Copies of this chain bind each other. A is one copy, B any other.
Amino acid sequence: MYRTHTCGELRRNNIGDTVTLAGWVQRSRDMGGLTFVDLRDRYGITQLIFNMETHADLCDMARTLGREYVIQATGKVIERSSKNKNIPTGEIEIEVSILKVLNVSKIPPFTIETETDGGDDLRMKYRYIDLRRQPVRDNIIGRHHVAQAVREYLNSKGFLEIETPFLIKSTPEGARDFIVPSRLNPGEFYALPQSPQTFKQLLMVSGFDKYYQIVRCMRDEDLRADRQPEFTQIDCEMSFVEQEDILLCFSGMINHIFKSIRNIEFANIPRITYDDALLYYGNDKPDIRFEMKLIDFRAVTQLDRFSVFDTAEDVIAICATGAGNYTRKQIDEITEWVKRPQIGMAGMAWMRWQDDGSVKASFEKFYTQAQLVSMIQHARATKDDLVLILAGDAKKSRKAMSELRLEMGNRLKLRDPNTFCPLWVIDFPMFEYDEEHNTWSPAHHPFTSPKVNDMQYLFAEPGRVRANCYDFVLNGVELASGSIRIHDRDMQMTIFKALGLSDKEANFKFGFILKAFEYGAPPHGGIAFGFDRLCALILSGNEYIRDFIAFPKNNAGRDVMLDAPASVEAHQLKELHIEAKI
């Protein structure tokens, strides 16, 4: 062992001990007669002191140490004259008597500080250096603790961690599979799993009862900002359960994780139906850290007086508490914001109380004061509030208002990253209409069970069928999705049929699970949490995942550190019975 202690553990009570430390030179300061070196490792920073009078050779050597040199230093722990109260080792320093350079370092391409001067690209290329910075290091260490908290809870509840295969069969549904040519089976391919969905269901058929895995999944999707081609999920499945059992079990898991990582407990995790989420928040993953619900403004505005409102399919308002005193400039900014192409509205209306008790509105000339008062009272606005109104196509306005609500939440600082408001969204629709392909596709996945009472609509009105499907949402981010599965072969075939899969296709793609359902499949259901995003939210309060992954890919799916993907040698392709066609 190159050290007796780490750089984070020496305290007052070690004074007088002779110790050996090893680590990286964070910085060194030459103060004439004395040279100070901050030595860093994963555990902390300890100050080394070199005295020109007593150890001139050592001091000369210390002066040559560059940033990020790896050194080993032996010396006596002494009390520090000017203490540093910001670090736990700040009361002591090491009077070095032996110094050894274990490795040199070039000058790093960016500073190893909390606020670095390195841009994103440079940090990605030198990821191994970026990982030395404390915020990034803390993320990765935090992720370790989140993973162990997940396992602690699930192990204590009798879940079994069971590994499922990575080289499986391609069954493209929704996202594209990554595929792997088989050398031993010319013309055939494995696929990498988009999730272990069918395997965890087979494990339930096998009787394992409670399964989990913290597992890598891969999807060859078109990349968007901060989406990774490989990601990790906490994958869980249970037998002989109903939806309520799963919601309770995983509310417990969320509580256990938050308790161990942030010392937060949620007395109760509220639930909302999908329909209500859309009605009150305009989307299926509402951020409930703040109220500001969507208000149906049709009845109060459509009075045959103002054509913009009268002809609109929907008129929706929010009451932005705390924005009552917004200037015209601020209001204009918000109007410009909703007119951006990403939102795409033609304009925004607004209203508020004036000091004299009358109502001021951007559209006041079209209505009587009594009508305006009736409107603003419908919005339950006080003098502190600003009512914002969007009108137009129902779907578009609702989506735009949902975005505007979040934007107002940001502007009014109602979205504190250290406040956590979890929520279950339940009763999702079974299918969603795929306008591109003109078909119905599963809203969750094709193994989700429909609500029994809605089976009557299956073929006539698929859009009316609700599913035993639920999402876990935290601060407006969908963190998990799950469902009670189909466990009956005939029901599964019926759903495949409703999705437009022929018997032949169903059997080619899912024959093994259809067959498994013939041999005593129990009722079962499960859930999968996005682990990267869960870590990001718990540890930092935001959903930007890249800095919670040790070696992430960039937005083009490239690992710029490895320079992958890359070309391979011709003989490799030949052995695999494939040819590149560029």
Contact = CB atoms under 8 A, between A and B. Distances in A.
Interface of A: 1-3, 6, 22-24, 40-43, 68-70, 102-106, 108, 126-129, 131-132, 137, 140-141, 143-144, 147-148, 151, 155, 160-170, 172, 176-192, 199, 202-203, 205-209, 216, 218, 220, 222-223, 229-230, 232, 240-242, 245, 487-488, 511-512, 515-523, 549-551, 553, 556-559, 561-569, 572, 574-582
A252 to B, nearest CB: 14
11 contacts: A22-B240, A43-B209, A129-B519, A131-B207, A131-B208, A141-B160, A165-B553, A167-B178, A168-B559, A179-B180, A199-B551
Nearest to A162: B550
Contacts of A3: 240
A108 B131 CA distance: 53
Q: Select the residue from A148, A163, A170 with max chain B CB neighbours within 10 A.
A: A163
Given A169-B559, A185-B557, A581-B579, A206 B144 contact: no
B185 A519 contact: no
A120 B233 CA distance: 33
Contact of A216 (B42, B163, B169, B232): B163
Nearest to A206: B131
Given A551-B164, A572-B172, A578-B579, A518 B206 contact: no
Contacts of A223: 184
Contacts of A558: 185
Contacts of A160: 140-141, 144
**3 closest pairs, A vs B, by CB?**
A105-B520, A169-B564, A131-B206
Contacts of A566: 169-170, 188-189
Contact of A70 (B185, B521, B553, B562): B521
B164 A550 contact: yes
A162 B184 contact: no
Contacts of A143: 162-163
B523 A140 contact: no
B561 A512 contact: yes
A128 B551 contact: no
A519 B108 contact: yes
Count of identical protomers in the assembly? 2
A344 to B, nearest CB: 28
A319 to B, nearest CB: 42
B567 A68 contact: no
B562 A519 contact: no
B487 A520 contact: no
A46 to B, nearest CB: 14
A565 B177 CA distance: 13
Given A70-B522, A203-B131, A521-B103, A576 B179 contact: yes
B42 A207 contact: yes
Nearest to A188: B565
A577 B220 CA distance: 14
A180 B180 contact: yes
Contacts of A140: 160, 162, 208
A196 to B, nearest CB: 10
Contact of A230 (B1, B167, B203, B517): B167
Given A167-B553, A581-B579, A519 B189 contact: no
Nearest to A574: B581
Contacts of A575: 176
Contacts of A102: 487, 522-523
A147 B160 CA distance: 10
Nearest to A104: B520
Contact of A42 (B1, B68, B128, B208): B208
Contact of A550 (B148, B163, B181, B205): B163
A220 B148 CA distance: 32
Contacts of A68: 519-520
A170 B566 CA distance: 8
Given A168-B562, A187-B567, 15 more contacts: A23-B207, A102-B523, A103-B523, A104-B520, A140-B208, A151-B151, A164-B550, A166-B216, A170-B572, A177-B572, A178-B190, A185-B556, A185-B565, A511-B563, A512-B563
Contacts of A183: 176, 220
Nearest to A557: B184
Contacts of A222: 184
Contacts of A162: 140, 143-144, 550
A69 B185 contact: no
Contacts of A241: 1-2
